[in-house]
Amino acid sequence: MTAGPSRGRRYVMLLVFLCGFSVIVFRLVTLQVLQAAELTAKADRQHQKTVSFEGARGTVSDRHGKVLAMNVEVPSVFGVPTSLESPATVARHLSPVLHIRTGELEKKLRQDKSFVWLARKLEPEQGRRLEQMSLDGIGVVMEGRRFYPKGPLLAHVLGFSGMDGQGLEGLERRYDSQLHGEKRVTVLQRDALGRTVFPKGVTEQVPTPGHALTLTIDEVIQYIAEKELEEAVFHARAKSGTIIVMEPQTGAILAMAVSPRFDPNVVAKLTPDRWRNRALTDTYEPGSTMKVVVAAAALEEKVMTPGTMVFGENGHMVIANTTIHDHEKLGWITFSEVIQKSSNIGAAKTGMALGEQRLYRYLQGFGFGQRTEIDLPGEVSGLLKAPKDWGRRSVASISMGQEVGVTALQMVSALSTLANGGVMMRPYVVSEIRDAKGHVLKEVLPQVKRRVVSPDTAWMMTTMMEGVVTNGTGAKAAIPGFRVAGKTGTAQKIDPRTGAYSSTQFVGSFVGYVPAESPRLAMIVVIDEPQGEAWGGTVAAPVFRRVGEQVLNYLGVSREDTVKIALAAREN
């Protein structure tokens, strides 16, 4: 009678045991199989933090290897909010070192996160002070910061990069994909107390640096150009200025100076107006410098010769119910004297002799109304309307350098075409790209764009432009011991308030090349809104002379060398 109940209890206990075991098995299957991926990810989030680091940005050097942009290792500080006992206390300690308000730091440190950047790319002294403080939950790691050892030198060409290493302006932006280093992800571990630590050996796991750029720029020539431009803009009380020095035979840019300057190491408080490269982005009416292009077209089309006589109308000529003036009353003069004396009436008659279609075709041939394709960002195409949009006076106006907008780079490229015997080259600033080990990945060779005029036309224009310097409006551009070919330009600016030409705002310029018989340099000087005397021959031509004289001396070009070259060329 007693065996029955005992057996029943055993069955009940067995059933309970089997149910419990089934529940455990079910739970294990759920955790280890069904929810395995989700729980693993959750554990990783609790114990790991991934942070990406990038290899050092590639260096930028001038043509002689002088470093213009480089990376330096500087400290960055991070916090682990989840491991802090008193965020307020830590924030008070950090504030005077980081120069960040206590409240702002405390807000970051109270976040429910295992990793947060507090300040990045600090000064080395700040990093040393942080390490000495040895605050729990606060760590310091070294990061690369872009540094420009020459300060403002070449700043408008180099541009600058942002906090995360991306190129934002200039060459830094244009060649960002080549300059930036390899990205590598590092997993930060949390210890038993929830503190974030860097894995052992992480400092040795350095990502591959970016590629290095070698420029066509010569640091010395750039320094000369910037120094002389700054002085010229200051003395003329001008708004801004630009100088470009170019090799006519290759298109290589030796210097590109813009004033006012800026320091790419300190750009946080600057506006885009300060760092834009005016040599590429700003258009202006070229004034009389355009007469050289129109004259070259007329010679090429044989509607003029250097000796062709042109009547100057005694300084006044009516076209389309408007009057064109010359600054002196000229009678009969040669075509060469039209350029030498910078006659507006002579230029207008030259344009009319060419006609709309031929004038437009040569303006395009010399590169106006289109980008030069230089390897820098921000270049504009300028303004050149099609003949169908021209008015009754447009041919005359364009021939004098009005109704057309050009950049300084376009104008110096056009003059370089004449210096190069009528062949236009593509301007460029990067000559070579190398990898981190110094292997050449790309070598940039001079690129011919097109032939614009014949060598004979180019030589005749050279002779005519020499007359501008020896006995014309460009006398102050003369460099003792050298033959200089060039042209002055003085253009009225449009007053945005009235839409008419201003009587007080001008652009003075000079563009030319030297030595005229075998050009080593083509150069343009543009002074925007000089106060007082604004003639290109007064404010820009002397700057051309000072820069040209110093650069020729630096390059070792002597008067005797140019004479020998010229004689050899004539004998051949």
CB within 8 A of 549, min separation 6: which ones?
A: 479, 480
Neighbour count for residue 256 (Cβ, 10 Å): 29
pLDDT at 232 over 60: yes
Q: What is the pLDDT at residue 163? A: 75
Q: Could you give the 3-state DSSP secondary structure of residue 461? A: helix
The CATH topology of domain 49-97+117-215 is Penicillin-binding protein 2a (Domain 2) (3.90.1310)
pLDDT at 463 over 60: yes
Burial of 567: CB neighbours in 10 Å, binned 0-12, 13-18, 19+: exposed
User: Tell me, what amino acid is at 97?
Assistant: V
- Please check whether the two domains, 49-97+117-215 and 219-571, share a CATH topology: no
User: In whole angstroms, what is the distance from residue 80 CA to residue 95 CA?
Assistant: 16
CB within 8 A of 334, min separation 6: which ones?
A: 306, 307, 308, 309, 310
Which top CATH class is 219-571?
alpha beta
Q: Which among 185, 201, 203 is positioned nearest to 54, based on CA atoms?
A: 185
User: Which is the catalytic residue, given 61, 161, 259, 288?
Assistant: 288
pLDDT at 552 over 80: yes
Q: Which of 1-5, 73-77, 448-452 has the highest mean pLDDT?
A: 448-452
Mean pLDDT, rounded, for 85-98: 84
User: In whole angstroms, what is the distance from residue 138 CA to residue 143 CA?
Assistant: 16
User: In whole angstroms, what is the distance from residue 366 CA to residue 449 CA?
Assistant: 10
Q: What is the pLDDT at residue 499? A: 82
Is there a cis peptide before residue 260, judged by omega within 30 degrees of 0? yes
Strands 309-311 and 253-259: unpaired
Q: CA distances (Å), 375 to each of 202, 226, 264, 371, in order?
A: 38, 21, 19, 11
pLDDT at 203 over 50: no
User: In whole angstroms, what is the distance from residue 254 CA to residue 557 CA?
Assistant: 16
Q: What is the pLDDT at residue 64? A: 97
Mean pLDDT, rounded, for 295-320: 96
User: In whole angstroms, what is the distance from residue 404 CA to residue 413 CA?
Assistant: 16
Q: Is 288 a catalytic residue?
A: yes
Q: What does the DSSP 8-state code read for residue 341?
A: T
pLDDT band at 41 (very low <50, low <70, confident <90, very high): low
* pTM, two decimal places: 0.83
- pLDDT tens digits for range 466-522: 999 999 999 999 999 999 999 999 999 988 888 888 888 999 999 999 999 999 999
pLDDT at 560 over 60: no
Q: Which among 243, 242, 250 is positioned nearest to 216, based on CA atoms?
A: 250
User: In whole angstroms, what is the distance from residue 202 CA to residue 187 CA?
Assistant: 9
pLDDT band at 42 (very low <50, low <70, confident <90, very high): low
Percent of the chain with pLDDT over 70: 84
CB within 8 A of 41, min separation 6: which ones?
A: none
Q: How far apart are the first and last CA of the chain?
A: 138
Note whether 39 and 194 are within 8 A (CB). Answer: no
As a whole number, the mean pLDDT across the chain is 87
User: In whole angstroms, what is the distance from residue 102 CA to residue 95 CA?
Assistant: 5
Strands 309-311 and 485-494: unpaired
pLDDT greater at residue 414 or residue 561: 414
Cα–Cα–Cα angle for 261, 174, 365, rounded to 5 degrees: 90
Q: What is the pLDDT at residue 570? A: 44
Note whether 372 and 411 are within 8 A (CB). Answer: no
pLDDT greater at residue 297 or residue 38: 297
pLDDT at 366 over 50: yes
User: In whole angstroms, what is the distance from residue 414 CA to residue 462 CA?
Assistant: 13
pLDDT greater at residue 81 or residue 239: 239
User: In whole angstroms, what is the distance from residue 123 CA to residue 130 CA?
Assistant: 11
CB within 8 A of 145, min separation 6: which ones?
A: 71, 72, 73, 74, 121
pLDDT at 341 over 50: yes
Q: What does the DSSP 8-state code read for residue 84?
A: -
Q: What is the pLDDT at residue 189? A: 58
Q: What is the pLDDT at residue 558? A: 83
Q: What is the pLDDT at residue 1? A: 47
Q: Which among 441, 376, 450 is positioned nearest to 417, based on CA atoms?
A: 450
CB within 8 A of 543, min separation 6: which ones?
A: 228, 229, 232, 243, 510, 525, 527
- pLDDT tens digits for range 125-157: 887 888 788 788 888 877 778 899 999 999 999
pLDDT at 198 over 70: no
Q: Which among 361, 339, 365, 355 is positioned nearest to 394, based on CA atoms?
A: 355
Q: Which of 29-43, 105-119, 447-461 has the highest mean pLDDT?
A: 447-461
User: In whole angstroms, what is the distance from residue 544 CA to residue 244 CA?
Assistant: 10
pLDDT at 39 over 80: no
pLDDT at 114 over 80: no
Note whether 408 and 279 are within 8 A (CB). Answer: yes
- pLDDT tens digits for range 253-274: 999 999 999 999 998 888 888 9
| Residue-range domain boundaries for the chain | 49-97+117-215, 219-571
Q: What is the pLDDT at residue 572? A: 45
pLDDT band at 295 (very low <50, low <70, confident <90, very high): very high
- Joined together, the tokens standing for residue 502 give 């201003």
pLDDT at 21 over 50: yes
Q: Could you give the 3-state DSSP secondary structure of residue 180? A: coil
